[in-house]
Structures are given as C-alpha cells and as structure tokens.
C-alpha cells in the first residue's frame, strides 16, 4: 500500500467515524456504535501488512479495520441506518458485519468473542494449507477474557498461523488499563506460553506495518502465533453518549496534540511524499465519498422482514 | 442385520463421514489416543491421524469457538463435549457466535457438537444433566436427540452435512445399548422430523433421547392392560416437528410429554403450550407433563431414580392419564 493510499484510508476512517457521531447527535441513525478516532493509523498499518488471502477479525470497535481492509463505506454505514444494502442487510448493526470476500471475518459485539473464532480460521488455513494468516484484533479489556489464554495456548500448541493484535488504547470503557490488568503490559502474557510478545507504538504507521508483516510472514512459514500489543489512545468516547467522567479533558487535549492522523499527514509533507494540495485533494475526495455514502444509505430500501425470516438457517 | 451398540454405530458413522469428506474434522478432550471418555472415537486416530482427530486441552469455550471459526473457514468440524454439563463453558460461543452467523452475518456454519446428557449412572449433579433447554429457545441452533442406533446414524450424517450448527445429544445410557441395524449404514436423514415410534389410539407419549426408550417399554407394559400407547419420538428438538405432534394428539386426545430434566422451564412446557394453542378442542383431558424433579440430580441411586422419570413412573403417569375421567 502506497503511503498516499494509506493516508486516504486513515482519513476515510476518520471521516466515517466523525460522520457517524454527527448522525447520532442528529438522531438519524439507530442503536449504538464505538468509533475508533485516534486509532486509524493502527488499523491501516495492520491492513497494509496483509496479503489479500489473510483473514481479519475485530471487535465492537471495528469500522476502522473493515474500512482499512477495503470495505464499502456505504454498505458499512447502512448497518447503522438499518438498510438492506448493509453488509448484514441491516440486521447486524455496527458490531456485526462481515465480508469474507475481502478477508474480513467480522466485527463482534462480545468482548473477546472473536478470539477463538479467529483461531479456528487459522486452524482451517493450516489444514487446507492456504498460506493464509489470521489477524485477531482486540482491546486491552478483551485480553482479560479467559478465552484469550485458552486460544493462545492452543494456537501455540498447534503452531497456528495467527497474530493476536491488541489495541491497547488505555481504557476498557471506563476502566483504565492499570485498573484492569494486574500487569498492564498485555504482550508480557505471551511469554508464559513461550509465544513472542511484542509491544510497539501503535500510532506509528510504519512500525505497525513492519512488525505485523514480519510476524505474519513467520506465521505463514509455519512458525506459529505472536502477540503484538499496539499502544494507542482512544480519542473518542467509548460509545455514543459517553460523558467521559473517567478521564480529564486535559488528558484528552494532550492526546489530541499527538493526533496520529495529523502526525502522519505532517510526515507525508515533510518527506515530500505528498504536497499540501495533494493532501487537500484527498481530504475533499474522502469527505465527498462519505457524503455519498450517507446519501446512498438514506435512499436505500429498509431491511426486509420477509427475507430475514427466511434466512434463519443456511440451506 | 447386525446387533451392535449405540457407541459402535456412532463410531462407524463418524468414520464413514470422515472417509467421504476430507473436511470432516474431530476435536475434543481425550478423543484421540484415549478414544473419548465414553470410547466413542476409539480407533479413529489410528485411521485418520492426529490432525483430523484432534486431542484438545480442557477448554470448552475455545474448542467450540475454534470449531466455529474452522467451520466458517471451510472445515466441517465435529466436536465432542465430554459431558453435556460442561457445555455451560461453551454457551457464549454457541449462542452469540454460531447461532448468529447465518441469520445476521450471512455465513454458513457447518458445525456439529456431540455430547452425552442424562442421569442414571450416579455421576452426580455436574455429570448428569440434560441441558438442551438452554439452546431450545435460541433461534439459529438445531438440536438432535435420537433414541436408537439407525436414527442416530442417519441423523448424525444429516447433521454433519447440514450447513448450520447442530447440537447432537447422545444419552449416556444409550451408549452400551444394543440395537438391530442393517449391514450397511443408513443414508443421511433430514433434521427436523419426528417419527411415530409406536402406533396406538388411546394416548400419545411424546419423548426424545433415552426417554423414548423408556416410553416404548412403558407402552409395551400398558398394552398388556389393553391401553394402546402411541409414542412420538421427536428425534429433533429444534426445529420442532409440531405437525407430527399435533397429528398424533388429534388422533388420541390424550398426551403425556416426558422430559428427563426438571419440570420447570422445560421443553415439555413449550410443547404443551403449542398443543393447547393448536389442538385444544381435540383434547379429552388436559396435557400432562412428566419430568425430572426441580432439584439437582443427586448421586445416591435411590435419590437419582426418584428424581428422574423411570419406567415405573412413566408407566404409572401414562396409565393414570389414559384412565382419567
Ligand atoms: C462479554 C462482554 N462483556 C462486556 C461488554 C460491554 N463492553 C463492550 S466494549 C467494552 C470495553 C472493551 O474494552 P477493550 O477490549 O479495551 O476495547 P476498546 O473498547 O477499548 O476498543 C465493554 C465492557 C461486551 N460487549 N461483551
Ligand atoms: Mg481498550
């Protein structure tokens, strides 16, 4: 992925998330959503390291991962509008969408629920020798679910091609990492199972891409799983309507000063990879793309009850 | 014809399905070199190797979740949960993942989870439960509960070939029982069809799994007292074959539903409600349930048999209902 393209995806995610927050405030969409503002470069860094055949799973906070992998923003957004063009035909909402054709095996509303699931996708990849690596994205909070330990143990025992990529964004809802993890370094947990555990700056696009690529290649060669902990910060609230009583506005302001998307933008200009006018053009284009997505959602037909009732079971 | 155990036919069926389809994969605790806690998978690791007959650590949630992921990836996993009681540790993956894959995400999930429910062996409260009710009200899951060897084979084949998650109950008292079966395995059965296991016009007994075995024995005894019992063997609990149930109830006008697990909150209650809603005017007497006590399953022999339906208690309940004015 070229750096300009990476930037375009980061901006697309930022724009998507900000638009959703706005749509909620205006009462135009339903349900809930967890935006990943502040974690966009991480999403794109991981996606940039993958092969098209690779499989990714994510969590409740998954729009960024999905868009980074190439999802159609209109179809993703349509899940919030409850419209038939949505990836889950409007049935899933923000936390339940999947498109296996682009190697995206789903957001998941159960914290930690996708960890064994992704491990199973890796088992299938190993059995069928597809060369696929599974990338299981989850949060610092999810790392406390017992099933992480269970799955990592089995992945290590069986040498499965899977990377557990933790987005340590400092909080699990209101619970700061130091209040939820006896040892707030998730990567350390890998050592107990003799699995490589790496902790990196999750807001550094290139560091993320290189680290994920390196370990994905190793996994592809049959060298087994790895745990990669990416340090980041959730600039947005946990979910819509989060009053953020668990942290100070000052802490947030300081974090905004290090906004990873802006930082990446500056790097592109400094390194002369993109000019200011090119940056501006990308900004306009992504803004327009999101605007069009909103329009498509609004015009799309409602979710179909008939079709839903007839799809409980797979033929 | 041959005379073989329930265990034997399950093993043969697994072997045949694994020969037929390379993507059929077994996983579970101690199913490989040990052959499973009840010996069902004995010998299969020698035929198919440790990749396709996978011994796992003790981790029901991960076994189940991994199997679901592998199913979505392209395998047809058949997992074993050693005792049905341990399924509690896998409930999240079954309810929140497997059951949602097709209706919400649009992904087929060809998974079979085999597990033995049931009391009768004095194993105590955490090794004797019939917990199918946990899943009965969860749209998206299928539940199969055969009571004889031929059906078990046909339904297991049907379950393995089904593109949906199936919980397949093998009652532990069935395992050592012998059945007359054909020289070759039957073909696969479609899930969701009950069968009339015995014809009779005085009263209908509805049962599944091992309770059908007892219901058939009760019917035989009652025939000597000139009470003709029709036995509906549900075979599949979800989807429930309401049509067959109603047809039998309409013909006899009296119905006893037998469930091994506690009375309260059971599957029998749902069946009773459906009968009342759709066939009330055909009933000569209110629908009766005969179920386990509202107590944990105790281990002492006298307590255990007092707390679960037995041949005697079923016979008495059926006779009382048949003769009630
Ligand atoms: C099993 C389960 N428990 C609790 C929740 C509610 N919940 C949703 S997200 C969340 C915090 C998760 O934190 P983390 O894993 O760090 O991810 P982040 O939100 O920071 O991206 C909680 C408690 C849930 N959805 N599922
Ligand atoms: Mg977090």
Q: What is the ipTM of this complex?
A: 0.97
**B62:A55 CB<8 A:** no
Cβ <8 Å between B105 and A146:
no
In this structure, which topology does domain B195-323 adopt according to CATH? Answer: Rossmann fold (3.40.50)
Q: B2-181, which class in CATH?
A: alpha beta
Q: Give a yes or no: residue A311 inside a domain.
A: no
Task: Flag whether A315 is in a domain.
Answer: no
Look at residues B9, B112, B29 and name the one whose alpha carbon lies nearest to residue B67: B112
- Average pLDDT over every residue of A168-172: 98
pLDDT in tens, A290-299: 999 999 999 9
Ligand 1: list residues with CB < 6 Å. A 34, 60-61, 109-111, 138-142, 169, 171-173, 234, 238
User: Looking at residue B138, what DSSP letter applies?
Assistant: -
The reported pLDDT for the residue numbered A246 is 98
Whether the CA torsion A136, A142, A143, A149 is positive or negative: it is negative
Give the containing element (helix H, strand E) for B112. strand B112-115
Between CA B101 and CA B109 the distance in angstroms is 7
Whether residue A41 lies inside any domain: the answer is yes
pLDDT reported for residue B104: 98
Among all bound ligands, the one having the nearest atom to the CA of A141 is 1
- Here the CATH number for the domain that contains residue A213 is 3.40.50.970
Contact B160, B152 (CB under 8 A): no
Å from CA of A111 to ligand 1 middle: 5
Mapped onto helix, strand or coil, the DSSP state of residue A194 is coil
Candidates B17, B60, B230, B304; catalytic one: B60
In this predicted structure, the answer to whether residue A192 has a pLDDT above a threshold of 90 is yes
Nearest CA in chain A to B66: A120
Q: How does strand B229-233 pair with strand B195-198? A: antiparallel
Residue-number span of the structural domain to which A77 is assigned: 3-298
Q: Considering every ligand atom shown, identify the ligand nearest to the alpha carbon of residue A62 and give its number.
A: 1
Task: For chain B, give every residue range classified as CATH 3.40.50.970.
Answer: 2-181
Contact A48, A98 (CB under 8 A): no
Q: Do B74 and A124 make contact, defined as CB atoms within 8 angstroms?
A: yes
In three-state secondary structure terms, A215 is: helix
Residue nearest atom 11 in ligand 1 by C-alpha distance: A172
Which residues in chain B are contacts of A89 at CB distance < 8 A? 106
Span A28-72, pLDDT tens digits: 998 999 999 999 999 999 999 999 999 999 999 999 999 999 999
Give the pLDDT confidence score for residue B304 in this predicted structure. 98
Distance (Å, whole) CA B60 – CA B196: 35
Mean model confidence pLDDT for chain A: 97
Ligand 1 probe mutation, A39, A60, A112, most atoms within 8 A of CB: A60
> Chain A within 8 Å of B166 (Cβ-Cβ)?
no
Residue spans in chain B of domains classed CATH 3.40.50.920: 195-323
Rounded CA separation A142/A148 (Å): 8
Q: Which site among A84, A106, A123, A304 would you substitute to test the B interface, given the most B Cβ atoms closer than 10 Å to its Cβ?
A: A123
pLDDT grade, residue A1 (50/70/90)? Answer: confident
Give A311's contacts in chain B (Cβ within 8 Å): 102-103, 106
Looking at the DSSP bridge assignments, the partners of residue B257 are B206, B289
Residues 193-222 of B with CB under 8 A from A: none
A170 touching B (Cβ < 8 Å): no
What domain count does chain A have?
A: 1
**Would the CB atoms of A121 and B69 count as touching at under 8 Å?**
yes
Tally Cβ neighbours within 10 Å of residue A85.
19
Split chain B (325 residues) into runs of 10 and give each run's mean pLDDT. Answer: 98 98 98 98 98 98 98 98 98 98 98 98 98 98 98 98 99 98 97 98 98 98 98 98 98 98 98 98 98 98 98 98 96
Q: Residues A11-27: pLDDT tens digits?
A: 999 999 999 999 999 99
A151 touches chain B (CB under 8 A): yes
State pLDDT tens for residues A117-161. 999 999 999 999 999 999 999 999 999 999 999 999 999 999 999
| Residue B60 annotated in active site | yes
Six-digit token string for B198: 């015995």
- Is residue B131 helix, strand or coil? coil
Residue A313 lies in a domain: no
Kindly tell me if the per-residue pLDDT of A241 is higher than 90: no
Q: What pLDDT does B264 receive? A: 98
Is residue A82 in some structural domain?
yes
Mean pLDDT of all residues in A298-304: 98
Burial grade of A180 (CB within 10 A; 0-12, 13-18, 19 or more) = middle
Is residue A307 situated within a structural domain?
Answer: no
Residues in chain B: 325
Distances (CA, A) of A299 to A24, A137, B180, B182, B264: 18, 33, 63, 60, 49
* Whether the model pTM is above 0.80: yes
DSSP 3-state percent helix, strand, coil across chain B (nearest 5)? 45, 20, 40
The residues, ordered by sequence, that sit 6+ positions from A299 with a Cβ below 8 Å of its Cβ are: none
How many angstroms separate the CA atoms of B155 and B161, rounded?
10
> Which residues in A155-175 are b (16+ Cβ under 10 Å) and which e?
bbebebbbbbbbbbbbbbeeb
Whole-angstrom distance, CA of residue A130 vs CA of residue A139: 28
């Amino acid at each position: 992925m070229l750096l300009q393209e990476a930037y375009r995806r980061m901006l697309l995610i930022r724009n998507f998330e900000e638009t959703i927050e706005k749509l909620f405030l205006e009462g135009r969409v339903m349900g809930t959503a967890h935006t990943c503002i502040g974690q966009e470069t991480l999403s794109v860094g991981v996606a940039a390291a993958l092969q098209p055949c690779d499989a990714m799973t994510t969590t409740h906070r998954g729009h960024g991962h999905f868009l980074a992998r190439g999802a159609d923003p209109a179809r993703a957004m349509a899940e919030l509008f409850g419209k038939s063009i949505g990836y889950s035909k409007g049935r899933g909402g923000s936390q339940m969408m999947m498109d296996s054709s682009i190697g995206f095996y789903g957001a998941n509303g159960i914290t930690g629920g996708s960890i064994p699931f992704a491990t199973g996708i890796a088992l299938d990849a190993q059995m069928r020798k597809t060369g696929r690596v599974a990338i299981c994205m989850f949060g610092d909070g999810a790392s406390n679910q017992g099933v992480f330990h269970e799955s990592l143990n089995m992945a290590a025992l069986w040498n499965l091609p899977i990377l557990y990529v933790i987005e340590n964004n400092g909080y699990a809802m209101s619970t700061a990492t130091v209040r939820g993890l006896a040892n707030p370094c998730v990567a350390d947990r890998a050592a107990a199972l003799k699995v490589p555990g790496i902790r990196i700056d999750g807001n550094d696009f290139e560091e993320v891409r290189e680290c994920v690529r390196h370990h994905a290649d190793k996994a592809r060669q049959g060298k087994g799983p790895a745990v990669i902990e990416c340090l980041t910060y959730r600039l947005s609230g946990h979910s819509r309507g989060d009053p953020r009583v668990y942290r100070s506005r000052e802490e947030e302001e300081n974090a905004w000063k290090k906004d990873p998307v802006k930082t990446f933008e500056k790097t592109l200009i400094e390194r002369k990879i993109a000019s200011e006018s090119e940056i501006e053009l990308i900004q306009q284009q992504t803004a327009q793309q999101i605007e069009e997505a909103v329009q498509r959602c609004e015009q799309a037909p409602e979710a179909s009850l008939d079709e839903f009732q007839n799809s409980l079971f797979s033929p | 014809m041959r005379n073989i155990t329930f265990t034997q036919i399950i093993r043969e069926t697994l072997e045949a399905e694994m020969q037929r389809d390379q993507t059929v994969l077994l996983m579970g605790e101690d199913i490989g070199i040990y052959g499973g806690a009840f010996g069902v998978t004995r010998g299969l690791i020698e035929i198919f190797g440790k990749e396709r007959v996978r011994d796992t650590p003790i981790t029901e949630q991960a076994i189940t979740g991994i199997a679901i992921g592998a199913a979505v990836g392209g395998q047809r996993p058949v997992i074993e949960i050693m005792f049905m009681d341990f399924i509690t540790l896998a409930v999240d993956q079954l309810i929140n993942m497997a059951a949602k894959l097709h209706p919400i995400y649009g992904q087929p999930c060809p998974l079979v989870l085999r597990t033995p429910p049931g009391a009768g062996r004095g194993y105590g409260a955490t090794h004797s439960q019939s917990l199918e009710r946990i899943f009965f009200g969860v749209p998206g899951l299928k539940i199969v509960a055969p009571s004889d060897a031929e059906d078990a084979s046909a339904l297991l084949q049907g379950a393995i070939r089904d593109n949906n998650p199936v919980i397949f109950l093998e009652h532990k008292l069935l395992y050592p029982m012998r059945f007359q079966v054909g020289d070759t395995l039957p073909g696969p059965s479609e899930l969701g069809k009950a069968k009339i296991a015995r014809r009779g016009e005085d009263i209908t007994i509805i049962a599944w799994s091992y309770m059908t075995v007892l219901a058939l024995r009760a019917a035989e005894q009652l025939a000597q007292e000139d009470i003709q019992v029709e036995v509906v063997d549900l075979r599949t609990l979800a989807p429930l074959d309401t049509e067959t149930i109603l047809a039998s109830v309409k013909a006899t006008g009296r119905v006893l539903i037998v469930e091994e697990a506690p009375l309260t909150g059971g599957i029998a209650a749902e069946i009773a409600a459906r009968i009342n809603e759709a066939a009330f005017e055909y009933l000569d007497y209110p629908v009766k349930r005969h179920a386990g006590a509202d107590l944990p399953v105790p281990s002492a022999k006298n307590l255990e048999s007092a707390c679960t339906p037995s041949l005697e208690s079923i016979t008495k309940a059926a006779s009382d209902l048949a003769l009630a004015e």
